[in-house]
Homo-oligomer: A and B are copies of this chain.
Amino acid sequence: MRSSEMADEVTLYADGRSPFVCRVKIALNMKGIKYKNMEEDLQNKSGALLNYNPVHKKVPVLVHNGNPILESLVIVEYLDNVWERVPILPQDPYEKAAARFWAKFIDDKCIPALYKVFSSKGEEEQVITEACEQLQILEDELELKGKKFFGGDNINLVDIAADFIAYWLQLLEEATEMKLVTRSKFPKITEWAEGFVNCQVVKEMLPPRAIMLAYYKNRFGKI
């Protein structure tokens, strides 16, 4: 425990439905950090949120002893830097770089490709093909790794970055009746996702299934 830890004030500006916010919540839970959750109404953002994140005006924002930290993966790295217990990033520099590479791949390639599938009108076949290509790269990485998680025997930054794929994607699929990740096509991702959402530190932070499903049905579902 750091000597100053007793005095730590940690506040999370959040939207409980967001997979990006959930990344930070999982990290906070892994580290056992007590924090105050400030739920934002994204239609009517608080002055505090706009003040702390004037560039993107987005959640999550973590405020630690008055200092705002922005961008979900930057926040997760920050938490791992300041609270060393239960490491989230590998210690070895090469393994660390590899984890950052995969987390960035998920953010830059996978998630945009998957969002496109569910928000596209027309040209569906093309966007599905593209999304499956990205997923296949993750499938191959899990196969190559041969472990339960991207992190090995325990979850790490990459697993946390992929929380959308483990939980939200399945709900989106159900809401829209459009199945991308089948057990036969992506066996490793399927198995990994089951393992991930059943980790105690993850499970405790996921938004309720029913709420997410209703939200997605309303937003993306068929009428």
- Which residues of chain A (49-88) have a CB below 8 Å from chain B? 55, 64, 67, 69-71, 74-75, 77-78, 81-82
Nearest 10 pairs of A and B residues by beta carbon: A81-B93, A78-B97, A74-B100, A69-B97, A67-B94, A82-B93, A70-B101, A74-B97, A74-B101, A71-B101
Name the B residues within 8 Å of A55 (CB-CB). 105, 137
A185 in the interface (beta carbon within 8 A): no
- Cβ A94 vs Cβ B74 within 8 A: no
Instruction: Give the distance in Å from the alpha carbon of A81 to the alpha carbon of B100 in the complex.
Output: 13
Contact with B along A29-61 (1 / 0, CB 8 A): 000000000000000000000000001000000
Q: Is A96 an interface residue, CB under 8 A from the partner?
A: yes
Q: Which of A97-132 contact B (CB under 8 A)?
A: 97-98, 100-101, 104-105
Number of A residues with CB within 8 Å of any CB on chain B: 22
Q: Are A96 and B71 in touch, CB under 8 angstroms?
A: no
Interchain CB contact under 8 A, A78 and B94:
yes
Instruction: For residue A96, give the distance in angstroms from its CB to the closest CB of chain B.
Output: 7
Interface pairs (19), CB distance under 8 Å: A55-B105, A55-B137, A64-B94, A67-B94, A69-B97, A69-B98, A69-B101, A71-B101, A71-B104, A74-B97, A74-B100, A74-B101, A74-B104, A75-B97, A77-B100, A78-B93, A78-B94, A78-B96, A81-B93
Closest to A105 in B: B55
Bound form: Cα–Cα A93–B69 in Å: 10
Interchain CA distance A81-B90 in the complex, whole Å: 12
Given the interface contacts A55-B105, A100-B74, does A69 sit within 8 Å of B94 by beta carbon? yes
Closest to A66 in B: B94
Please indicate the chain B residues that have their CB under 8 angstroms from the CB of A78 in the complex.
Answer: 93-94, 96-97
Closest beta carbon of chain B to A27's beta carbon, Å: 13
Picked from B70, B96, B137, the residue with its CB within 8 Å of the CB of A81 is: B96
